[in-house]
Protein backbone atom coordinates (compact mmCIF):
# COMPACT_ATOMS: atom_id res chain seq x y z
CA UNK A 1 0.00 0.00 0.00
CA UNK A 2 1.25 3.49 -0.77
CA UNK A 3 0.44 6.45 1.44
CA UNK A 4 1.39 9.94 2.49
CA UNK A 5 2.56 10.25 6.07
CA UNK A 6 2.05 13.18 8.46
CA UNK A 7 3.79 13.42 11.82
CA UNK A 8 1.93 15.08 14.71
CA UNK A 9 3.76 16.73 17.61
CA UNK A 10 1.66 17.16 20.78
CA UNK A 11 1.39 20.02 23.24
CA UNK A 12 1.30 20.07 27.02
CA UNK A 13 -1.03 17.92 29.06
CA UNK A 14 0.03 14.31 28.55
CA UNK A 15 3.45 14.42 30.18
CA UNK A 16 4.12 11.78 32.84
CA UNK A 17 6.80 9.80 34.65
CA UNK A 18 7.12 7.25 31.83
CA UNK A 19 7.22 9.79 28.97
CA UNK A 20 10.81 8.89 28.00
CA UNK A 21 10.73 5.14 28.58
CA UNK A 22 10.19 3.98 24.99
CA UNK A 23 12.73 6.36 23.52
CA UNK A 24 15.36 5.21 26.01
CA UNK A 25 15.17 1.68 24.59
CA UNK A 26 17.10 3.12 21.64
CA UNK A 27 20.71 4.09 22.56
CA UNK A 28 20.90 6.98 20.10
CA UNK A 29 17.62 8.44 21.30
CA UNK A 30 18.68 8.03 24.92
CA UNK A 31 21.93 9.90 24.29
CA UNK A 32 20.08 12.67 22.47
CA UNK A 33 17.59 12.91 25.32
CA UNK A 34 20.41 13.46 27.81
CA UNK A 35 21.84 16.22 25.61
CA UNK A 36 18.45 17.91 25.21
CA UNK A 37 17.70 17.82 28.94
CA UNK A 38 21.10 19.36 29.66
CA UNK A 39 20.31 22.23 27.28
CA UNK A 40 16.97 22.90 29.00
CA UNK A 41 18.78 24.47 31.95
CA UNK A 42 16.59 22.95 34.65
CA UNK A 43 17.24 23.93 38.26
CA UNK A 44 16.05 20.53 39.56
CA UNK A 45 17.11 16.96 38.69
CA UNK A 46 14.99 15.35 35.99
CA UNK A 47 13.88 12.50 38.26
CA UNK A 48 12.60 15.02 40.80
CA UNK A 49 10.62 16.86 38.12
CA UNK A 50 9.08 13.66 36.75
CA UNK A 51 8.03 12.61 40.26
CA UNK A 52 6.34 15.90 41.18
CA UNK A 53 3.23 16.91 39.21
CA UNK A 54 3.51 20.47 40.48
CA UNK A 55 6.83 20.74 38.63
CA UNK A 56 5.95 18.48 35.71
CA UNK A 57 2.92 20.56 34.76
CA UNK A 58 4.52 23.95 35.38
CA UNK A 59 5.25 25.87 32.21
CA UNK A 60 9.02 26.11 32.64
CA UNK A 61 9.40 22.31 32.80
CA UNK A 62 6.42 21.09 30.77
CA UNK A 63 7.22 22.86 27.50
CA UNK A 64 10.86 21.70 27.12
CA UNK A 65 10.05 18.20 28.41
CA UNK A 66 7.24 17.68 25.90
CA UNK A 67 9.52 18.84 23.07
CA UNK A 68 12.32 16.58 24.32
CA UNK A 69 10.03 13.54 24.51
CA UNK A 70 8.67 14.16 21.01
CA UNK A 71 12.12 14.57 19.48
CA UNK A 72 13.55 11.56 21.32
CA UNK A 73 10.76 9.41 19.89
CA UNK A 74 11.44 10.84 16.44
CA UNK A 75 15.16 10.07 16.80
CA UNK A 76 14.36 6.50 17.82
CA UNK A 77 12.02 5.98 14.87
CA UNK A 78 13.45 8.18 12.11
CA UNK A 79 15.44 5.53 10.26
CA UNK A 80 12.53 3.07 10.39
CA UNK A 81 9.92 5.50 9.05
CA UNK A 82 9.23 6.73 5.54
CA UNK A 83 9.84 10.41 4.90
CA UNK A 84 6.85 12.45 6.06
CA UNK A 85 4.96 14.66 3.62
CA UNK A 86 3.86 17.10 6.36
CA UNK A 87 4.56 17.83 10.01
CA UNK A 88 2.08 19.52 12.35
CA UNK A 89 2.46 20.63 15.95
CA UNK A 90 -0.12 21.58 18.54
CA UNK A 91 0.86 24.63 20.63
CA UNK A 92 4.41 23.99 21.95
CA UNK A 93 4.40 20.98 19.63
CA UNK A 94 4.90 23.39 16.73
CA UNK A 95 8.43 24.03 18.03
CA UNK A 96 9.08 20.29 17.97
CA UNK A 97 7.57 20.13 14.48
CA UNK A 98 10.21 22.49 13.10
CA UNK A 99 12.93 20.31 14.60
CA UNK A 100 11.38 17.19 13.05
CA UNK A 101 11.33 19.11 9.75
CA UNK A 102 15.04 19.92 10.07
CA UNK A 103 14.80 23.67 10.65
CA UNK A 104 15.94 23.44 14.29
CA UNK A 105 18.51 21.22 15.95
CA UNK A 106 16.85 19.12 18.67
CA UNK A 107 18.84 20.65 21.52
CA UNK A 108 18.12 24.13 20.14
CA UNK A 109 14.41 23.30 20.03
CA UNK A 110 14.41 22.28 23.71
CA UNK A 111 16.35 25.39 24.72
CA UNK A 112 13.90 27.48 22.68
CA UNK A 113 10.97 25.77 24.42
CA UNK A 114 12.43 26.74 27.80
CA UNK A 115 12.90 30.33 26.62
CA UNK A 116 9.36 30.39 25.24
CA UNK A 117 8.00 29.19 28.59
CA UNK A 118 9.96 31.87 30.45
CA UNK A 119 8.67 34.59 28.11
CA UNK A 120 5.09 33.41 28.56
CA UNK A 121 5.49 33.20 32.34
CA UNK A 122 6.75 36.79 32.31
CA UNK A 123 3.34 37.83 30.94
CA UNK A 124 1.85 36.80 34.29
CA UNK A 125 3.22 40.04 35.74
CA UNK A 126 0.39 42.03 34.18
CA UNK A 127 -2.32 39.47 34.99
CA UNK A 128 -0.95 37.26 37.78
CA UNK A 129 -3.67 34.59 37.68
CA UNK A 130 -4.54 33.16 34.27
CA UNK A 131 -6.42 30.04 33.21
CA UNK A 132 -7.33 27.82 30.28
CA UNK A 133 -10.70 26.09 30.04
CA UNK A 134 -11.80 23.36 27.66
CA UNK A 135 -15.32 24.01 26.35
CA UNK A 136 -17.55 21.63 24.40
CA UNK A 137 -21.18 21.34 23.38
CA UNK A 138 -21.63 24.87 22.06
CA UNK A 139 -20.86 26.34 18.62
CA UNK A 140 -17.57 28.24 18.47
CA UNK A 141 -19.27 31.50 17.46
CA UNK A 142 -21.63 31.29 20.44
CA UNK A 143 -18.73 30.64 22.82
CA UNK A 144 -16.80 33.57 21.38
CA UNK A 145 -19.75 35.91 21.87
CA UNK A 146 -20.05 34.87 25.51
CA UNK A 147 -16.35 35.34 26.26
CA UNK A 148 -16.41 39.08 25.73
CA UNK A 149 -18.04 39.73 29.06
CA UNK A 150 -15.71 37.50 31.09
CA UNK A 151 -12.19 38.65 30.07
CA UNK A 152 -11.60 35.43 28.09
CA UNK A 153 -10.57 34.73 24.49
CA UNK A 154 -10.55 31.79 22.10
CA UNK A 155 -7.18 30.02 22.45
CA UNK A 156 -7.52 26.82 20.39
CA UNK A 157 -10.29 25.68 18.04
CA UNK A 158 -10.46 21.88 17.92
CA UNK A 159 -13.90 21.27 16.41
CA UNK A 160 -17.23 22.78 15.41
CA UNK A 161 -18.37 22.85 19.05
CA UNK A 162 -15.13 22.31 20.99
CA UNK A 163 -12.60 24.98 21.90
CA UNK A 164 -10.08 25.96 24.52
CA UNK A 165 -10.43 29.45 25.94
CA UNK A 166 -8.02 31.50 28.01
CA UNK A 167 -8.22 34.51 30.25
CA UNK A 168 -8.10 35.84 33.79
CA UNK A 169 -8.61 33.12 36.38
CA UNK A 170 -10.84 35.50 38.31
CA UNK A 171 -13.44 35.21 35.56
CA UNK A 172 -13.29 31.42 35.19
CA UNK A 173 -16.09 30.54 37.64
CA UNK A 174 -18.50 33.06 36.18
CA UNK A 175 -17.73 31.94 32.65
CA UNK A 176 -18.21 28.29 33.60
CA UNK A 177 -21.65 29.05 35.03
CA UNK A 178 -22.64 31.07 31.96
CA UNK A 179 -21.54 28.24 29.67
CA UNK A 180 -23.43 25.67 31.71
CA UNK A 181 -26.59 27.78 31.44
CA UNK A 182 -26.30 27.39 27.65
CA UNK A 183 -25.79 23.63 27.87
CA UNK A 184 -22.01 23.65 27.35
CA UNK A 185 -19.44 21.73 29.37
CA UNK A 186 -16.30 23.45 30.68
CA UNK A 187 -13.28 22.15 32.55
CA UNK A 188 -10.13 23.77 33.95
CA UNK A 189 -6.89 22.62 32.29
CA UNK A 190 -3.58 22.12 34.16
CA UNK A 191 -1.89 25.09 32.47
CA UNK A 192 -0.79 28.24 34.26
CA UNK A 193 -0.94 30.80 31.44
CA UNK A 194 -3.59 31.91 28.96
CA UNK A 195 -1.66 30.61 25.96
CA UNK A 196 -2.63 31.73 22.45
CA UNK A 197 -4.57 34.77 23.66
CA UNK A 198 -3.74 38.51 23.82
CA UNK A 199 -2.57 37.93 27.41
CA UNK A 200 0.67 36.60 25.84
CA UNK A 201 1.23 39.61 23.60
CA UNK A 202 4.39 40.63 25.43
CA UNK A 203 6.11 37.38 24.45
CA UNK A 204 5.77 37.75 20.67
CA UNK A 205 8.60 40.17 19.84
CA UNK A 206 11.27 38.61 22.10
CA UNK A 207 10.32 35.14 20.88
CA UNK A 208 10.72 36.28 17.27
CA UNK A 209 14.19 37.57 18.16
CA UNK A 210 15.10 34.21 19.68
CA UNK A 211 13.82 32.39 16.61
CA UNK A 212 15.89 34.53 14.27
CA UNK A 213 19.01 33.31 16.08
CA UNK A 214 18.02 29.64 16.37
CA UNK A 215 15.86 28.80 13.34
CA UNK A 216 18.54 29.30 10.71
CA UNK A 217 17.32 27.26 7.74
CA UNK A 218 14.17 26.43 5.82
CA UNK A 219 12.29 23.29 6.94
CA UNK A 220 13.02 20.30 4.70
CA UNK A 221 9.38 19.19 5.10
CA UNK A 222 6.45 21.65 5.17
CA UNK A 223 5.10 22.42 8.64
CA UNK A 224 1.46 23.37 9.13
CA UNK A 225 1.02 26.77 10.72
CA UNK A 226 -1.08 26.55 13.85
CA UNK A 227 -2.57 30.00 13.33
CA UNK A 228 -3.55 29.55 9.68
CA UNK A 229 -3.42 25.85 8.79
CA UNK A 230 -1.21 26.61 5.78
CA UNK A 231 1.99 24.65 5.01
CA UNK A 232 5.12 26.68 5.80
CA UNK A 233 8.28 25.99 3.80
CA UNK A 234 10.34 29.15 4.34
CA UNK A 235 12.38 30.34 7.32
CA UNK A 236 10.96 33.87 7.39
CA UNK A 237 7.34 32.81 7.50
CA UNK A 238 8.18 30.10 10.03
CA UNK A 239 9.63 32.71 12.40
CA UNK A 240 6.63 34.99 11.94
CA UNK A 241 3.97 32.34 12.50
CA UNK A 242 5.77 30.52 15.33
CA UNK A 243 6.22 33.73 17.30
CA UNK A 244 2.69 35.02 16.67
CA UNK A 245 1.06 31.77 17.78
CA UNK A 246 1.79 32.36 21.48
CA UNK A 247 -0.73 35.22 21.39
CA UNK A 248 -3.13 34.17 18.60
CA UNK A 249 -5.64 31.31 18.43
CA UNK A 250 -4.48 27.89 17.25
CA UNK A 251 -6.81 26.64 14.48
CA UNK A 252 -6.22 22.93 15.04
CA UNK A 253 -9.51 22.09 13.33
CA UNK A 254 -8.16 23.75 10.19
CA UNK A 255 -4.85 21.92 10.54
CA UNK A 256 -6.65 18.57 10.63
CA UNK A 257 -8.64 19.53 7.54
CA UNK A 258 -5.41 20.63 5.81
CA UNK A 259 -4.05 17.10 6.21
CA UNK A 260 -6.93 15.79 4.13
CA UNK A 261 -6.46 18.52 1.54
CA UNK A 262 -2.78 17.54 1.26
CA UNK A 263 -3.68 13.93 0.53
CA UNK A 264 -2.41 12.56 3.85
CA UNK A 265 -3.50 8.95 4.34
CA UNK A 266 -1.49 8.01 7.47
CA UNK A 267 -0.69 10.04 10.58
CA UNK A 268 1.54 9.21 13.54
CA UNK A 269 1.49 11.22 16.75
CA UNK A 270 5.03 11.18 18.15
CA UNK A 271 3.90 11.44 21.78
CA UNK A 272 3.69 11.80 24.65
CA UNK A 273 -0.04 11.14 24.81
CA UNK A 274 -2.76 10.28 22.33
CA UNK A 275 -4.81 13.49 22.20
CA UNK A 276 -3.97 14.56 18.65
CA UNK A 277 -4.42 11.12 17.15
CA UNK A 278 -7.81 10.74 18.85
CA UNK A 279 -9.00 14.10 17.57
CA UNK A 280 -7.88 13.30 14.04
CA UNK A 281 -9.47 9.84 14.16
CA UNK A 282 -12.78 11.38 15.20
CA UNK A 283 -12.74 14.12 12.57
CA UNK A 284 -11.21 12.24 9.64
CA UNK A 285 -11.55 8.49 10.21
CA UNK A 286 -10.36 7.78 6.66
CA UNK A 287 -6.82 8.69 7.76
CA UNK A 288 -5.10 5.74 9.46
CA UNK A 289 -3.98 7.35 12.71
CA UNK A 290 -2.11 6.12 15.78
CA UNK A 291 0.16 7.50 18.47
CA UNK A 292 3.51 6.17 19.58
CA UNK A 293 1.86 5.92 23.01
CA UNK A 294 -0.51 3.24 21.62
CA UNK A 295 2.38 0.77 21.24
CA UNK A 296 4.56 -1.22 23.61
CA UNK A 297 7.72 -1.01 21.51
CA UNK A 298 9.41 0.98 18.77
CA UNK A 299 9.23 -2.11 16.60
CA UNK A 300 5.46 -2.15 16.97
CA UNK A 301 5.26 1.42 15.68
CA UNK A 302 7.44 0.63 12.68
CA UNK A 303 5.47 -2.53 11.87
CA UNK A 304 2.15 -0.67 11.93
CA UNK A 305 3.48 2.03 9.62
CA UNK A 306 4.94 -0.55 7.24
CA UNK A 307 1.44 -1.87 6.68
CA UNK A 308 0.16 1.55 5.64
CA UNK A 309 3.06 3.39 3.95
CA UNK A 310 5.65 2.30 1.42
> How far is residue 274 CA from its own chain's centroid?
12
- In this predicted model, what pLDDT tens digit does every residue of 236-257 receive, in sequence order? 999 999 999 999 999 999 999 9
- In this predicted model, what pLDDT tens digit does every residue of 55-78 receive, in sequence order? 999 999 999 999 999 999 999 999
More confident residue, 203 or 306: 203
Query: Pairing mode, if any, of strands 130-136 and 185-188?
Result: antiparallel
More confident residue, 2 or 220: 220
- In this predicted model, what pLDDT tens digit does every residue of 141-190 receive, in sequence order? 999 999 988 999 999 999 999 999 999 999 999 999 999 999 999 999 98
Task: Tell me: pLDDT of 86 over 70.
Answer: yes
162-168: strand order across its sheet? 185-188, 130-136, 162-168, 152-159, 250-251
Query: Three-class SS of residue 141?
Result: helix
Task: Tell me: pLDDT of 1 over 70.
Answer: no
Annotation: CATH topology of 5-123+198-306: Malonyl-Coenzyme A Acyl Carrier Protein; domain 2 (3.40.366)
Q: Quickly count: other Cβ atoms within 10 Å of residue 136's Cβ.
A: 16
Please state, in angstroms and as integers, the Cα–Cα distance from residue 241 to each residue in 69, 114, 200, 233, 257, following that order.
23, 18, 14, 12, 19
Specify the pTM. 0.95
- In this predicted model, what pLDDT tens digit does every residue of 23-59 receive, in sequence order? 999 999 999 999 999 989 999 999 999 999 999 999 9
Provide the mean pLDDT of the chain: 95
CB–CB of 73/292 below 8 Å?
Answer: yes
On the 0-12 / 13-18 / 19+ scale of CB atoms within 10 A, 30 is middle
For residue 2, the model assigns a pLDDT of 56
Q: How confident is the model at residue 271 (pLDDT cuts 50, 70, 90)?
A: confident
Q: Tell me the domain boundaries of the chain.
A: 5-123+198-306, 128-188
For residue 310, the model assigns a pLDDT of 66
Domain 128-188 architecture: 2-Layer Sandwich (3.30)
For residue 204, the model assigns a pLDDT of 98
CB–CB of 141/196 below 8 Å?
Answer: no
Give dist(CA 212, CA 152) in Å, integer. Answer: 31
- In this predicted model, what pLDDT tens digit does every residue of 255-266 receive, in sequence order? 999 999 999 999
Amino acid sequence: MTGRLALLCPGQGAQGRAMFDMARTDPGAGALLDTMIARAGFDAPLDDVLADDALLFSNRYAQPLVVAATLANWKALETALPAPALVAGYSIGEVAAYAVAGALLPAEAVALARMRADLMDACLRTTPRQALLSVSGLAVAAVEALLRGHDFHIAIVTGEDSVIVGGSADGADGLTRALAALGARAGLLPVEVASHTPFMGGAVAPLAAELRGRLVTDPRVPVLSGISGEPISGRGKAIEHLSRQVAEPILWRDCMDALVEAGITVALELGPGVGLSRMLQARHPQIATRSVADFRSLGGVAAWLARHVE
